[in-house]
């Protein structure tokens, strides 16, 4: 029945998703403010069509939150579905093989910004809901909360959650915004990393100088910034900030063995990324390095002359954006402080440094013995014919820790993207199969969860 409904309506589901993907809801870019709102309105219309009792667009200081619910019976369990309808900027545009906001299917994959992260995955929930409603199979109360600021730190969602605790009352949070190992090896994410995001500025002389007249006699802030940055890792790939690893929860041998049981092919990984060798913290596997180890990376660096041709200049300033991915039990605020202190401490006398913190977020781990995890596991078994493998993802969804703290709720991370789907990159895509199987798995989840 469910399979049939999805198959019969698949083309319409995709057509609707395409219409949503055509709206460039880039939350970071104020020029797209109206588009972000249009994407919220589109979603609220589709939720209404799918059969919710109530849907509203909740205003915030930033982009709106779409809230909807269908309460079939207050004595039944309630699932709160969270997702985001905002997307990352699409640049560099010239690297896309088809325009980012003109979705197309190639090789059975949907190519568009937001196809996987997260419109495509949110839309599975809308269509799973429609399927259950039309087939009279709703077995849980469902609430939807879909925000437009995930990609910029979810500040206003944090406020909304704190102010609407009774409205958001539920038994469990359900999110599809993470990755699956493969269709042959289904998996459920059981951990996400936290984040501290910093910006640094190094200033040398009070103005840009002629690099011949002054070069060699005055410190060049770009050279200085580069050596400061390179000192942040040692030869073993460890972060050198004092205290950085102090609170890191080390895995037991059993946990490490379990984590490394997940299928992973290094040669394929390297080939897909076009690299000859990998690099990371010594003593850990790739799955450990992205799943359970903290990291520090430069996300952007600038200064001096970057225009056409050559201009000889010894710049006055150099800057960089640096992110640190955090793991249990590191605290974003503490790591931000450790970084700030250390970066100032290593600054040579011939420059001054300014350190600013951008958004942060706490890491999260979810239980594998909870009724909701078990329901998700059964749902995957039913649809994929295999028990899903628990995995730790390297990305961050800071709101998951906040849901636990403010609402006391656990989350099930039932994501259907692949790491190779190029989220945040040019040519983001999402498998049509991932989309349809995802809808089926979500429907199966409700069935099993209602029997908990």
- The binder of 69, among ligand BES, Mn ion, none, by C-beta within 5 to 8 A per type, is none
Q: Please say whether the beta carbons of 429 and 116 come within 8 A.
A: yes
Closest among 388, 391, 387 to 366, alpha carbons compared: 391
Is there binding between residue 291 and ligand BES (CB under 6 A)?
no
- Choose one: 19-27, 104-112, 177-185, 291-299; the region binding ligand BES (CB under 6 A): 177-185
Q: Please say whether the beta carbons of 326 and 316 come within 8 A.
A: no
Instruction: Reply yes or no: is the peptide bond before residue 92 cis, omega within 30 of 0.
Output: yes
Is there binding between residue 428 and ligand BES (CB under 6 A)?
no
The 8-class DSSP code of residue 215 comes to: B
- The binder of 259, among ligand BES, Mn ion, none, by C-beta within 5 to 8 A per type, is none
In sequence order, what are the residues at sequence separation of 6 or more whose Cβ sits closer than 8 angstroms to the Cβ of residue 169?
Answer: 78, 407
Instruction: Reply yes or no: is the peptide bond before residue 118 cis, omega within 30 of 0.
Output: yes
Give me the 147-186 binding string for Mn ion, x by CB under 5 A, dash otherwise.
------------------------------x---------
Q: Which is nearer to Mn ion, 222 or 397 (CB)?
A: 397
CB 305, min distance to ligand BES, A: 30
Give the whole-angstrom CA distance, residue 38 versus residue 49: 17
Q: Please say whether the beta carbons of 437 and 368 come within 8 A.
A: no
Q: Give the interface size with ligand BES as a residue count (CB under 6 A).
A: 17
Q: Is 114 left (phi over 0), alpha (psi -120 to 50) or beta?
A: left
Helix (H) or strand (E) holding 137: none
Neighbours of 276 (CB within 10 A): 7
CB 179, min distance to ligand BES, A: 5
Binding test (CB under 6 A) with ligand BES, winner from 16, 35, 177, 410: 177
Q: Which is nearer to Mn ion, 78 or 156 (CB)?
A: 156
Q: Structure tokens of 353?
A: 């440094």
Q: According to CB under 6 A, which residues from 144 to 173 bind ligand BES?
A: 150-151, 153
Active site residue 150: yes
CB 407, min distance to ligand BES, A: 19
Active site residue 86: yes
- The binder of 395, among ligand BES, Mn ion, none, by C-beta within 5 to 8 A per type, is ligand BES
Q: Dihedral sign, CA of 109, 112, 113, 117?
A: negative
Give me the 239-278 binding string for ligand BES, x by CB under 6 A, dash otherwise.
----------------------------------------
Binding test (CB under 5 A) with Mn ion, winner from 117, 147, 149, 393: 117
Helix (H) or strand (E) holding 130: helix 119-134
The residue from 86, 151, 362, 440 that is catalytic is 86
Q: According to CB under 6 A, which residues from 300 to 359 bind ligand BES?
A: 359
Give me the 383-412 binding string for ligand BES, x by CB under 6 A, dash otherwise.
----------x-xxxx--------------
Q: Structure tokens of 80?
A: 């709160």
Strands annotated E in 152-307? 172-175, 187-192, 194-203, 295-303
- The binder of 195, among ligand BES, Mn ion, none, by C-beta within 5 to 8 A per type, is ligand BES
Neighbours of 29 (CB within 10 A): 16
Closest among 94, 171, 166 to 371, alpha carbons compared: 171
Binding test (CB under 5 A) with Mn ion, winner from 118, 147, 393, 410: 118
Contacting residues toward ligand BES, per CB under 6 A: 117-118, 150-151, 153, 177-179, 192, 195, 359, 361, 393, 395-398
Q: Summarize as ranges the residues that interact with Mn ion (CB under 5 A).
A: 117-118, 177
Residues marked active site are found at 86, 150
């Amino acid at each position: 029945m469910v399979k049939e409904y999805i198959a019969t309506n698949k083309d319409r589901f995709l057509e609707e998703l395409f219409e949503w993907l055509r709206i460039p809801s880039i939350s970071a870019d104020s020029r797209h403010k109206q588009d972000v709102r249009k994407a919220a309105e589109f979603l609220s219309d589709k939720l209404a069509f799918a059969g919710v009792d109530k849907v509203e667009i909740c205003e915030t200081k930033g982009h709106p939150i779409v809230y909807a619910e269908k309460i079939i019976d207050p004595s039944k369990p309630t699932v709160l579905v969270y997702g985001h309808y905002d997307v990352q900027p699409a640049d560099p545009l010239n690297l896309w093989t088809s325009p980012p906001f003109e979705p197309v299917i190639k090789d059975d994959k949907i190519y568009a910004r937001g196809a996987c992260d997260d419109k495509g995955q949110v839309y599975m929930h809308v269509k799973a809901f429609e399927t259950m409603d039309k087939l009279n199979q709703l077995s849980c109360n469902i609430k939807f909360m879909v925000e437009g600021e995930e990609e910029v730190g979810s500040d206003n969602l944090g406020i909304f959650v704190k102010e609407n605790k009774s409205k958001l009352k539920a038994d469990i949070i359900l999110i599809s915004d993470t990755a699956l190992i493969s269709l042959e090896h289904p998996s459920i994410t059981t951990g996400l990393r936290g984040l501290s995001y910093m910006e640094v500025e190094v200033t040398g002389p009070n103005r840009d100088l002629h690099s011949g007249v002054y070069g060699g006699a005055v410190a060049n802030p770009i050279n200085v910034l580069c050596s400061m940055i390179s000192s942040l890792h040692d030869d073993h790939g460890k972060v050198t900030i004092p205290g950085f690893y102090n609170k890191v929860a080390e895995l037991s041998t059993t946990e490490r063995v379990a984590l490394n049981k997940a299928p992973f092919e290094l040669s394929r990984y390297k080939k897909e990324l076009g690299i000859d060798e990998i690099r990371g913290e010594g003593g850990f596997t790739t799955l450990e390095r992205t799943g359970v180890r903290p990291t520090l990376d430069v996300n952007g660096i600038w200064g001096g002359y970057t225009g056409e041709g050559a201009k000889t200049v010894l710049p006055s300033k150099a800057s960089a954006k640096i992110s640190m991915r955090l793991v249990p039990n590191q605290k974003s605020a503490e790591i931000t402080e450790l970084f700030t202190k250390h970066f100032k401490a290593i600054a040579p006398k011939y420059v001054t440094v300014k350190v600013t913190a951008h958004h942060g977020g706490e890491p999260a781990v979810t239980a594998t013995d909870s009724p909701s995890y078990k329901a998700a596991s059964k749902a995957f078994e039913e649809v994929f014919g295999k028990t899903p493998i628990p995995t730790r993802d390297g990305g961050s969804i800071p709101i998951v820790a906040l849901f636990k703290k403010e609402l006391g709720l656990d989350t099930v991370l039932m994501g259907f993207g692949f790491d190779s789907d190029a989220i945040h990159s040019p040519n983001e895509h999402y498998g049509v199969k991932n989309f349809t199987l995802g809808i089926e798995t979500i429907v199966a989840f409700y069935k099993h969860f209602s029997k908990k």
